[in-house]
């Protein structure tokens, strides 16, 4: 299989993308297409005598992090990001990985690849660590305002990803809310609760609060993109703060330094558990292709893991299963899907 990597997107592009692509290719038989400035990429690749099946696809432009997504995608047709998306459209690649401007990735995927049948809004999801393993949180920011129908679609897509990409046999689904009781939240949340409860094929656990989510009481947690993005960024900020405070305390005295040495193995394991680079990126579900989004500050390991995640999603026919779940949702609710948005958000 072939995976296209937007090599010009991250904060430290293209060195991080090249190193991650080489590592991923050497760890598997995946063919990787680095999309970006050909001269620059070939110069960096020359530093890797063992590179596996890595080649370059030229793109003359790059979309910057601070550019308005819609305008950038429209004006920079030869940027690495849309060029990578068109490789899927032209059957020259099976998946795309990008650490670039998230909004531009969403716009590129929606406009170039289009939505899957039955999906009114694509959604981002990501694995977060919990006390019992990990949870899939969906949506993370692709949609700020969501209808009841769309939250139910997110649940179906999250179930497919959890089962077919992560191997969870019967994913438990929770609806993120301010309380566990029936009737909590706004009108959309109340309606979504009723719809998910009425779907016999969904293992719905009801409303779930953030504490229960991090305790591992669900495998898939559904929310709108505004709430999901706030949860994600707050979690990252708290994890960073706790790491900083822990370092300060462990370096505060001779005894604590000795303790840190003795606990080094456990501390490294903890770091690996909460490090986003150890997870398979954030899939954009609901578009006609496998698209994995990763943080702009990702390490080469993060790029390699995203490539591996894209491979697993493609090999397990994730999008086919999402289509099947959309059919089941329509059958359970007896209604046609909402029409796709007329315009992608800035």
pLDDT at res. 291:
98
| C-beta of residue 106 within 8 angstroms of C-beta of residue 92 | no
Given a cut of 70, whether residue 156 has pLDDT beyond it is: yes
Strand 123-130, strand 133-138: pairing: antiparallel
pLDDT at res. 25:
94
Q: What is the pLDDT of residues 214-263, one digit of tens each?
A: 999 999 999 999 999 999 999 989 988 988 898 888 888 888 888 878 77
Radius of gyration for the chain, computed over Cα atoms and rounded to the nearest angstrom:
21
Q: What is the pLDDT of residues 187-215, one digit of tens each?
A: 999 999 999 999 989 999 999 999 999 99
Q: How confident is the model at residue 343 (pLDDT cuts 50, 70, 90)?
A: very low
pLDDT at res. 333:
67
Closest alpha carbon to 225 in 266, 282, 305? 282
Q: What is the pLDDT of residues 75-95, one digit of tens each?
A: 999 999 999 999 999 999 999
| C-beta of residue 9 within 8 angstroms of C-beta of residue 297 | no
**How would you classify residue 146: left for phi > 0, otherwise alpha for psi between -120 and 50, otherwise beta?**
beta
Given a cut of 70, whether residue 31 has pLDDT beyond it is: yes
Given a cut of 70, whether residue 60 has pLDDT beyond it is: yes
Q: How far is CA 296 from the centre of its chain?
A: 13
Sign of CA dihedral 212, 218, 222, 226: positive
Sequence-ordered list of residues with C-beta below 8 angstroms from that of 343, at least 6 positions apart, any chain = 70
Given a cut of 90, whether residue 39 has pLDDT beyond it is: yes
Spatial separation of the C-alpha atoms in residues 279 and 23, rounded to whole Å: 16
Within 10 angstroms of residue 200's Cβ, the number of other Cβ atoms is: 9
> Is the peptide bond prior to 139 cis by the omega test (within 30 degrees of 0)?
yes
Spatial separation of the C-alpha atoms in residues 148 and 121, rounded to whole Å: 12
Mean of the pLDDT values across residues 315-326?
Answer: 94
* Same fold flag, 1-114+287-315 and 126-278+318-334: yes
Q: How confident is the model at residue 345 (pLDDT cuts 50, 70, 90)?
A: very low
Percent of the chain with pLDDT over 90: 75
CATH 3.40.718.10 fits 1-114+287-315, yes or no: yes
pLDDT at res. 346:
40
| C-beta of residue 104 within 8 angstroms of C-beta of residue 63 | yes
Closest alpha carbon to 149 in 107, 114, 196? 196
Q: Where are the domains of the chain?
A: 1-114+287-315, 126-278+318-334
3-state SS class at 295: coil
Given a cut of 70, whether residue 158 has pLDDT beyond it is: yes
In the numeric block, the tokens 């370096």 are attached to 251
Tokens coding 57? 């696809």
Q: What is the pLDDT of residues 279-318, one digit of tens each?
A: 889 999 999 999 999 999 999 999 999 999 999 999 999 9
Spatial separation of the C-alpha atoms in residues 177 and 186, rounded to whole Å: 9
Spatial separation of the C-alpha atoms in residues 280 and 235, rounded to whole Å: 17
Q: How far is CA 321 from the centre of its chain?
A: 17
Q: How confident is the model at residue 334 (pLDDT cuts 50, 70, 90)?
A: low
User: Which option is the CATH number for 126-278+318-334: 3.40.718.10, 3.30.365.10, 1.10.287.1770, 3.90.420.10?
Assistant: 3.40.718.10
Mean of the pLDDT values across residues 30-42?
Answer: 97
């Amino acid at each position: 299989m072939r995976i296209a990597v937007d090599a010009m997107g991250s904060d430290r592009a293209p060195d991080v993308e090249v190193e991650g692509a080489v590592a991923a290719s050497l760890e598997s038989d995946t063919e990787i297409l680095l999309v970006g400035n050909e001269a620059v990429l070939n110069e960096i690749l020359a530093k890797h005598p063992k590179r596996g099946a890595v080649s370059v696809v030229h793109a003359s432009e790059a979309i910057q992090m601070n550019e308005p997504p819609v305008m950038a995608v429209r004006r920079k047709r030869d940027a690495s990001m849309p060029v990578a998306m068109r490789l899927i459209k032209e059957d020259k690649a099976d998946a795309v990985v990008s650490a670039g401007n998230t909004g531009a990735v969403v716009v590129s995927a929606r406009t170039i690849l289009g939505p899957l049948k039955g999906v009114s809004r694509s959604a981002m999801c990501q694995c977060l660590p919990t006390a019992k393993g990990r949870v899939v949180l969906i949506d993370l920011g692709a949609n700020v305002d969501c209808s009841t129908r769309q939250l139910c679609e997110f649940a179906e897509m999250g179930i497919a990803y959890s089962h077919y990409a992560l191997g969870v046999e019967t994913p438990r689904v929770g609806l993120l809310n301010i309380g566990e009781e029936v009737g909590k939240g706004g009108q959309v949340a109340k309606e979504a609760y009723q719809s998910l409860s009425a779907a016999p094929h969904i293992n719905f656990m009801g409303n779930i609060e953030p504490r229960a989510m991090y305790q591992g009481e669900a495998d898939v947690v559904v929310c709108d993109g505004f709430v999901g993005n706030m949860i994600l960024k707050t979690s990252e900020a708290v994890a960073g703060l706790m790491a900083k405070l822990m370092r300060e305390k462990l370096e505060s005295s001779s005894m604590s330094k000795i303790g840190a040495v003795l606990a080094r193995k456990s501390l490294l394991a903890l770091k690996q558990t909460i490090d986003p680079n150890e997870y398979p990126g954030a899939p954009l579900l609901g578009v006609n292709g496998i698209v994995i989004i990763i943080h702009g500050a990702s390490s080469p390991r993060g790029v390699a893991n995203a490539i591996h995640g894209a491979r697993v999603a493609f090999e397990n026919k994730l999008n086919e299963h999402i289509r099947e779940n959309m059919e089941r949702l329509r059958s359970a609710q007896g209604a046609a899907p909402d029409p796709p948005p007329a315009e992608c958000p800035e």
